[in-house]
Structure 1
Amino acid sequence: MPNEERVRVRVADRQLVVSNLGKVLYPATGFTKAQVIEYYVKIAPVLLPHIAGRPLTLKRYPDGVDGEFFYQKNVPQGTPDWVRTARVPAPGSTMNRDQVTYVVADDLPTLIWAANLANLEIHTPQWRLPGDVRAVERTPDPDLVVFDLDPGPPATIVECCRVAELLRPALTARGLDPLAKTSGNKGMQLLARISGHSSAQASELAKEVAEELAAAHPDLVTAKMTKRLRTGKVFIDWSQNNAFKTTVATYSLRARSEPTVSTPVTWDEVAACRAEHQLRFTSDEVLDRVAEHGDLLEPLLAG
């Protein structure tokens, strides 16, 4: 892409103006805003099905990953009228709002419009809006249950893989078929399709499994959020299933020194992991993986 300050481009059936394409957003690698946009254009065919219908929490880095960032839930000022939005209850909002109007990215133009805002990371809840509704009085039931594995140093993603291997049979025994992805940061997540559960019930299910593993493997696993209890262990964050919490989306970039990505991995890769670098993937590597393997989390979209 060229480096003019403002460039008009056609994305699918929309005209967008993108700006500051030459701005470096990942200083350690020289990765520019143009490259961020290019990544999201190329990954969109497998990313969009995972986030479609889910309200987006944007994590924006206008001065790059070494600068200040902010989370944006409410629709930004100047949002084009063609961008889908949805009004959702927001109990406990830090802005004292009863509801928040979110962006919903169902298509490529919306994804690229958000990337042009220096939105590096995409975070979504475990539920989808029904159809093309623009407002809900209560959050819908989840279609996913997530187990967020967060290693307490000196534990790393290697220990997360060992916990994932313990979680898998525990979930299978409950009729769930979990799949794994890296967080793109320090840890990883297991995701499984779920139905007939409220978010509260999904949280209780996840908590039950987490506490069961923590009791059986106290030297490796904790189900408690308290920081001092997490040293050298993997915290299974079951609370991410709360209807008002979000998890980094599959194929989202992360704001690390390199443009790492939350990447689907196979159970064979989980079993083989013995070093952090084995499950650290950058944007180019993820595009190569998708070209070779397709979307490893596609089973989560079934039905």
Structure 2
Amino acid sequence: MTPITEVAGRRLALSNLDKVIHPATGTTKGEMLHYYALTADALLPHLRDRPVSFLRYPDGPGGQLFFTKNPPPGTPSWVRTTPVPRSEDPGARQIVVDDLPSLMWAANLVVEFHTPQWRAGEPAVADRLVLDLDPGPPATAADCCAAALWLRERLAADGLEAWVKTSGSKGLHLMVPITPTGSREVSAYAKALAVEGEAALPRLMLHRMARALRPGKVFVDHSQNAAAKTTAAPYTLRARAEPTVSTPLTWEEVADRRNLSCSLADLAPRLERYGDLFAPLADPGRARPLP
């Protein structure tokens, strides 16, 4: 029998709580839901008022994975949706996770949370810039740290402040709060940074996506600034054998190449020690214009 629980006045059916989702650690769906409940105060500001895309993995990372933007069948009427521009579907809508009941309902589907760089009601007007640093073996996360430190200084030269998190996979994400700017303009600026990074450190950084060029280098993926693209949200679990989390880091950790892979069990003590390191990203007062 599927247990029913009440979350902030909403009744939720939470299913298969004993099912193992992350096999390397034996992490169950119930433990995943407990994680999201514990980290909700940190996670929700980074989901709130943004259309959410889900990478679903209900049978674990070894099962079927599917990316979905449309509200799934059975979405409760109290879960907020917002219209999103899609040429192939003018009436398209997506979920917006604004509160704890919506978060727990979505987490029960077993998902990664992905968001665009713009907010509901302002499509293609970005308030964040993102650079996804992806190492091509034998390059490692430590090489991503070297690239991140160079990019941080370069952004600072333009009056922009960057925050950094693990991707939850192999690399790092740099995120920068900006005053609302068209996604095309943000994309052009991000590409120019990646090109400049490759010119400055050609043995380390690469701005082109071609697989043949990537071994031993850090691909500076600027494409996620496009209006149609999304990025894994801070604190989301990832569909990996172990329950890794996209985890905000301090710049000291990046400089020391420490804590470059964090799991579900690591986040509660990190939040107790640091709070939400990404809180400034949700503060409009920290946004700065692109040069």
Class of the TM-score when normalised by the shorter of the 2 chains: over 0.9
Question: How far is 1:55 from its partner?
Answer: 0.6
Distance 1:99 1:199, change over 3 A: farther
Corresponding residue of 1:125: 116
1:287 equivalent to 2:268? Answer yes
Secondary structure of the residue aligned to 1:139 is coil
Corresponding residue of 1:81: 77
Q: Aligned match of 1:71 in 38, 43, 67? A: 67
RMSD between aligned residues: 1.2
Do the aligned residues in 2 keep the contact of 1:182 with 1:263 (CA within 8 Å)?
yes
Corresponding residue of 1:296: 277
Secondary structure of the residue aligned to 2:18 is coil
Gap regions ≥5 residues in structure 1: 131-137
CA distance in 2, matches of 1:99, 1:182: 35
Q: Aligned match of 1:106 in 93, 98, 119? A: 98
Aligned pairs, number: 284
CA distance in 2, matches of 1:123, 1:140: 16
Corresponding residue of 2:221: 237
Corresponding residue of 1:191: 175
CA distance in 1, matches of 2:59, 2:120: 32
Q: Which has the higher contact order (CA 8 A, sep 6+)?
A: 2
Q: Structure 2: which amino acid aligns with 1:66? A: G
Corresponding residue of 1:115: 107
Question: How far is 1:66 from its partner?
Answer: 1.3
CA distance in 1, matches of 2:180, 2:41: 29
Secondary structure of the residue aligned to 1:251 is coil
Corresponding residue of 1:270: 254
State the percentage of identical aligned residues: 49
Corresponding residue of 2:195: 211
Corresponding residue of 1:37: 33
Do the aligned residues in 2 keep the contact of 1:181 with 1:262 (CA within 8 Å)?
yes
Cα-to-partner distance string for 1:33-88 (whole Å, 9 max, x where unaligned)? 10111111110000000110111111111211211111110011111100000110
Question: How far is 1:196 from its partner?
Answer: 4.1
Corresponding residue of 1:134: none
Question: How far is 1:99 from its partner?
Answer: 4.5
Gap regions ≥5 residues in structure 2: 285-291
Q: Structure 1: which amino acid aligns with 2:223? A: S
CA distance in 2, matches of 1:6, 1:208: 52
Corresponding residue of 2:212: 228
Q: Aligned match of 1:51 in 47, 51, 67? A: 47
Secondary structure of the residue aligned to 2:14 is strand
TM-score (norm 1): 0.91
CA distance in 1, matches of 2:184, 2:67: 24
1:24 equivalent to 2:15? Answer no
Corresponding residue of 2:289: none
Secondary structure of the residue aligned to 1:142 is strand
Identify the range of structure 1 (278-287 vs 222-231) with the bigger mean alpha-carbon deviation. 278-287
Question: How far is 1:123 from its partner?
Answer: 0.5
Corresponding residue of 2:239: 255
Corresponding residue of 1:180: 164
Q: Structure 1: which amino acid aligns with 2:78? A: W
